A and B are shown apart, each in its own frame.
Chain A
Amino acid sequence: MPRPSRSLPQRSLLFGLFGLSLLPLAAAADRPLSVVAPWEITGTDPSTSGYVYARMRVAETLVDTDADGQPAPGLAASWQPSEDGLTWRFALREDVTFHDGSPLTAEAAATSLQHALAKPGILDSAPVTSIEADGNEVVIQLESPFAPLPALLAHSTTLILAPGAFDDEGRVTEVIGTGPYRVVSVAPPQRLDVERFDGYWGEVPAIDSANYLAVGRGETRALMAESGDADVVFTLDPASRARLERHDRLALHAEPLPRTIVFKVNAAHPLLEDEHARQALSLAIDREGIAAGLLRDPEAAAAELFPASLGPWHLGLDASEAQDVERARELLAELGWEANGSGVLERDGEPFELTLRTFSDRPELPLVATALQDQWREIGVALEVAVGNASEIPSGHRDGSLELGLMARNYGLVPDPLGTLLDDFGADPESMGGDWGAMGWRDDDLAGWLDTLRQEADNESRIELAGQVARRLNEAMPVVPVAWYQQTASVNAELEGFSIDPLERSYRIDELRWSE
């Protein structure tokens, strides 16, 4: 049907006016949030890429964490161990639906966890024998008591997905979770688009849609923040951070992570078997120099293994008091070490020579290694640095050839570091420590405390034991702390409500909103 048409300029003027009137509204509500971080998306399976679906709030775990990093109700409203500590019952939250509309039932949650248990993941650390559904509860049977089980169920490899997410072989074909955002599209390895899920059981987020982009290069990430292409950019290199700080449009955030740069010591090595020798090495380190000079962050100096975000495990030691070169020299002299003509310590004609293995996957590690080399030369210890592959530390541990290994260890994979500590310092007599923990070192008291912690459910005694463990580790030094990592983020100043989760479980995008 022919209709009188307006002339083109007239029409575009009308459109323009119409568009203009919508603009302010559209900008506030519909503007998608763009998140950029270095970590790539491997696929859809929680065992490989769960972290990205957890952080983008697509899928959730039975257990969540509260503001202090302590386990808190998630999809499970409450949980209770049996008297003997072998049976845990997790009562599910009511009226939770998956993104495909199916209800969260105990069967669905148990099936999802069974799939997680069959693949490598955090549940390997617990002695799980079975995961079943019973009424509204998920029942987990253990072989031996394991008090930190709820903390493990906060890890992203235990995300709860709908039954429709799995194919017959247990592969995840689609990420169907329960979170406040649902997946619109996934394009591994780089992009994930999500939109708000209106059927969310909790508070529905303010921002309509968001996307995640994995960008490997730090320079590119910083430039994306600077040009306004990305609203939230994680992990900034020190040089870019200084530049971004000058921008009014951006707000910078930083938060220490429970990931610590440590070196593990072969305590069975003749030069290192005495705890005083290990203490001397530690006393000779200028941690603040390494933090300020190499990591460009004076706050990063670590005189203990666990940062404040790990609550009772944190001792509050002052890194500036951790260096005492004179005391280090005295300790070594007491052990019978004397400087020879070339300045290297010698005992019975044998020089104090060690090899430190490290790897370049984390670019700061070789730098820290050479700083240690330089600082130990001051006390007469000759250190050779071998930069290789990350696998050389566990393999050197297994065949006994490792002397010192510099690495980064994440003690906050789950809210409770106990699982990691049991692996690293537990009482398994065969392994004499873990791949990334003690080597040739054993302390029966500490093993006993860890074992008690494993079984003890009473909170107060757990807190006390945690402090004891941290103190003993700091004294005996089977693993020596050097520095902490910091998570940094640059955030569009028009966003409100941003905070960094020190346990890196969530980007907390559901708490963000555009300022008016």
Chain B
Amino acid sequence: MSQALASRTTPRWTAGLGGLLLQRLFQAGLVAWMVGTLTFVLTRSLPGDMAYRIAAGRYGHDMVNTSAAEAVRTELALDQPALGAYFGWLWDLLQFDLGRSLVSGEPVMAELWHQLGHSLGLAAMAVLLSLLLGPPLGLIAGLKPNGWLDRVSEVVASILRALPPFAVGLLLILIFSVSLGWLPAAGHGRSAHGVLPALTLALALAAISSRVARNAMADVSQSAYYAFSRTKGLGERLSFLRHGLRNAAVPVVAYLGVQFVYLIEGVVIVETLFAWPGIGHALVHAIVARDVPMIQGTALIMGLMFVALNTVVDLLCHWLDPRRRSA
């Protein structure tokens, strides 16, 4: 209804979209190259002998000795100059080949595919839950700034955001698995396994989005146009739906993009805590075992996911906010 109104007076929502997408595509390429290069340099400069690390990752600490480490070194050509390995990786990347894991010997692409599915599922569930929890609460609180709901939700949001996801996750396990016995504590396989990790992530996400929504709504509800909509005789509900919701949505959606940083960071910790076989969990293990192709692959996917999510957020804002389209 409001879109139909908008399209009469403003450019179609697809205007200026091509440039935006092209820019994001270029950004994706740049991110891929930089993330790969950085992870390469960083893993090479970590202290300790890579060959021993990889051997320990493969055969277990009890089986590591100099001969196992030397076998690994020869097999993986770790004694060759680093620059050669770097250009080899770059060349493979151009052909969309991420190589094989140094530890398991499986293609990185196949392992990532498996893990990414788990992570995306978890992240999607978390975002959905956070959207159900955060913005509605924030919008209601924002309609009456400094009311009791506003105050209480502010305190709860501050506490949730200040607690590290690790602590929130443990608390949730203690409450819902140990005390109440409603949900499994950790693991995967059934859909119930995803609830607690997703909720852990969602609570911190909702903590922020509720405050952003509250501020946006408070701004809107105190704006001249909102006051006018009430003055001209629209009821509270209609004012909110026609003039409030869409205007307040722009900062909330834009802020979602920033929150994905938190999501990606949170996934690493939450997956380890809940034994969820996703990409964050894989990254931690790849770093411990100095599995360079896996580190590069996971970091690359995370970087690209970030660009992709930001693109989605841009598109959403582009659609929500006609003022952007003339640019």
- Using a CB–CB cutoff of 8 Å, the interface residues on chain A facing chain B are 36, 40, 42-43, 45, 47-48, 51, 120-122, 124, 157, 171, 187-191, 213-217, 219-220, 223-224, 226-230, 361, 388-392, 394-395, 398, 408, 410, 413, 423, 434-436
Q: Is the CB of B49 within 8 A of A395?
A: yes
| A contact residues around B173 at 8 Å (CB) | 220, 223, 227
Q: Answer whether A394 and B187 are a contact pair too, CB < 8 Å, given A190-B277, A228-B181.
A: no
Q: Is the CB of A389 within 8 A of B185?
A: no
| B contact residues around A423 at 8 Å (CB) | 65
Extra 4 A-B pairs, beta carbons < 8 Å, given A45-B105, A120-B55, A189-B282: A42-B104, A220-B185, A227-B181, A390-B52
| A contact residues around B104 at 8 Å (CB) | 42-43, 48, 188
Q: Answer whether A436 and B48 are a contact pair too, CB < 8 Å, given A171-B105, A188-B104, A213-B187.
A: no
Q: Is the CB of A213 within 8 A of B285?
A: no
Closest to A213 in B: B187
Closest to A47 in B: B59
Closest to B106 in A: A43
Q: Is the CB of A48 within 8 A of B285?
A: no
- Majority secondary structure of chain B interface residues (helix, strand, loop or mixed): helix
Q: Is the CB of A224 within 8 A of B185?
A: yes
Q: Is the CB of A227 within 8 A of B184?
A: yes
Q: Answer whether A391 and B52 are a contact pair too, CB < 8 Å, given A48-B59, A223-B174.
A: yes
Interface residues contributed by chain B, number (CB under 8 Å): 47
Nearest chain B CB to A123's CB is how many angstroms away?
11
Closest to A424 in B: B65
Q: Is the CB of A413 within 8 A of B62?
A: yes
Q: Is the CB of A213 within 8 A of B275?
A: yes
Q: Is the CB of B277 within 8 A of A187?
A: yes
In the bound complex, what is the Cα–Cα distance between A61 and B240 (angstroms)?
72
Nearest chain B CB to A55's CB is how many angstroms away?
13
Q: Does B170 contact A (CB under 8 A)?
A: yes
| B contact residues around A229 at 8 Å (CB) | 177, 184-187
Write out, one digit per residue, whether chain B residues 250-288 have a CB within 8 A of any chain A CB (1) or not (0).
000000000000000000000011110100011001000
Contact residues of B between 58 and 114, Cβ < 8 Å to A:
58-69, 71, 103-106, 114
Contact residues of B between 300 and 326, Cβ < 8 Å to A:
none
Closest to B276 in A: A190
In the bound complex, what is the Cα–Cα distance between A124 and B51 (angstroms)?
18
Q: Is the CB of B178 within 8 A of A226?
A: yes
Nearest chain B CB to A262's CB is how many angstroms away?
14
Q: Is the CB of A43 within 8 A of B105?
A: yes
In the bound complex, what is the Cα–Cα distance between A49 and B75 (angstroms)?
19
Contact of A215 among B52, B69, B187 (CB under 8 A): B187
In the bound complex, what is the Cα–Cα distance between A121 and B55 (angstroms)?
11
Contact residues of B between 126 and 152, Cβ < 8 Å to A:
none
Q: Does B235 contact A (CB under 8 A)?
A: no
Closest to B57 in A: A42
| A contact residues around B60 at 8 Å (CB) | 48, 51
Q: Answer whether A391 and B178 are a contact pair too, CB < 8 Å, given A47-B59, A213-B275.
A: no
Q: Is the CB of B61 within 8 A of A390?
A: yes
| A contact residues around B68 at 8 Å (CB) | 120, 124
Q: Is the CB of A223 within 8 A of B186?
A: yes
Q: Does B56 contact A (CB under 8 A)?
A: yes
Contact of B49 among A47, A120, A389 (CB under 8 A): A389
| A contact residues around B63 at 8 Å (CB) | 120-122, 157, 413
| B contact residues around A398 at 8 Å (CB) | 66
Q: Is the CB of B186 within 8 A of A224?
A: yes
Q: Does B18 contact A (CB under 8 A)?
A: no
Write out, one digit per residue, whether chain B residues 156-200 have a CB within 8 A of any chain A CB (1) or not (0).
000000000000001001100110010011111100000000000
- Ordered by A's residue number, 18 sampled pairs between the chains whose C-beta atoms are within 8 Å are A124-B68, A187-B114, A189-B277, A189-B281, A215-B275, A219-B273, A220-B273, A226-B185, A227-B178, A229-B185, A229-B187, A389-B49, A389-B52, A391-B49, A392-B49, A394-B65, A408-B61, A434-B65
Q: Does B19 contact A (CB under 8 A)?
A: no
Contact of B65 among A216, A217, A436 (CB under 8 A): A436
Q: Does B211 contact A (CB under 8 A)?
A: no
Q: Does B53 contact A (CB under 8 A)?
A: yes
In the bound complex, what is the Cα–Cα distance between A252 and B138 (angstroms)?
48
Q: Is the CB of A120 within 8 A of B71?
A: yes
| A contact residues around B233 at 8 Å (CB) | none
Q: Answer whether A40 and B66 are a contact pair too, CB < 8 Å, given A223-B185, A227-B177, A391-B48.
A: no
Q: Is the CB of B285 within 8 A of A189?
A: yes
Closest to B274 in A: A220
Contact of B66 among A43, A122, A188, A435 (CB under 8 A): A435
| B contact residues around A230 at 8 Å (CB) | 187
Closest to A397 in B: B66
Kindly list the 7 A-B residue pairs having the minimum CB-CB distance in the complex, ordered from nearest.
A389-B48, A391-B52, A227-B177, A391-B49, A215-B275, A410-B62, A43-B104
Nearest chain A CB to B179's CB is how many angstroms away?
9
| B contact residues around A390 at 8 Å (CB) | 48, 52, 56, 61, 64
Q: Is the CB of A220 within 8 A of B52?
A: no
Nearest chain A CB to B17's CB is how many angstroms away?
40
Nearest chain B CB to A313's CB is how many angstroms away?
17
In the bound complex, what is the Cα–Cα distance between A126 and B204 (angstroms)?
56
In the bound complex, what is the Cα–Cα distance between A217 and B173 (angstroms)?
13
Closest to B55 in A: A120
| A contact residues around B47 at 8 Å (CB) | 388-389
Q: Answer whether A223 and B65 are a contact pair too, CB < 8 Å, given A217-B273, A391-B48.
A: no
In the bound complex, what is the Cα–Cα distance between A423 and B68 (angstroms)?
13
Nearest chain A CB to B195's CB is how many angstroms away?
13
Nearest chain B CB to A15's CB is how many angstroms away?
21
Q: Is the CB of B187 within 8 A of A224?
A: yes
Nearest chain B CB to A227's CB is how many angstroms away?
4
Contact of B272 among A216, A388, A389, A434 (CB under 8 A): A216
Q: Is the CB of B174 within 8 A of A394?
A: no
Contact of B275 among A48, A214, A392 (CB under 8 A): A214
Closest to B105 in A: A43
Q: Is the CB of B61 within 8 A of A361?
A: yes
Contact of A394 among B66, B181, B274, B277 (CB under 8 A): B66
Nearest chain B CB to A190's CB is how many angstroms away?
5
Q: Is the CB of A217 within 8 A of B181?
A: no
| A contact residues around B189 at 8 Å (CB) | 191
| A contact residues around B53 at 8 Å (CB) | 389, 391
In the bound complex, what is the Cα–Cα distance between A188 and B57 (angstroms)?
14
Closest to B46 in A: A389
In the bound complex, what is the Cα–Cα distance between A392 and B51 (angstroms)?
12
Closest to B51 in A: A391
Nearest chain A CB to B225's CB is how many angstroms away?
51
Nearest chain B CB to A361's CB is how many angstroms away?
7
Nearest chain A CB to B213's CB is how many angstroms away?
33
Contact of A42 among B103, B178, B184, B186 (CB under 8 A): B103
In the bound complex, what is the Cα–Cα distance between A347 and B23 (angstroms)?
72
Closest to B184 in A: A229
Which of A47, A391, A392: most chain B CB closer than 10 A? Answer: A391
Closest to A39 in B: B60
Write out, one digit per residue, whether chain B residues 10-50 have a CB within 8 A of any chain A CB (1) or not (0).
00000000000000000000000000000000000001110
Contact residues of B between 219 and 245, Cβ < 8 Å to A:
none
Q: Is the CB of B185 within 8 A of A227?
A: yes
| A contact residues around B187 at 8 Å (CB) | 36, 191, 213, 215, 224, 229-230
Q: Is the CB of B188 within 8 A of A190?
A: yes
Closest to B58 in A: A48
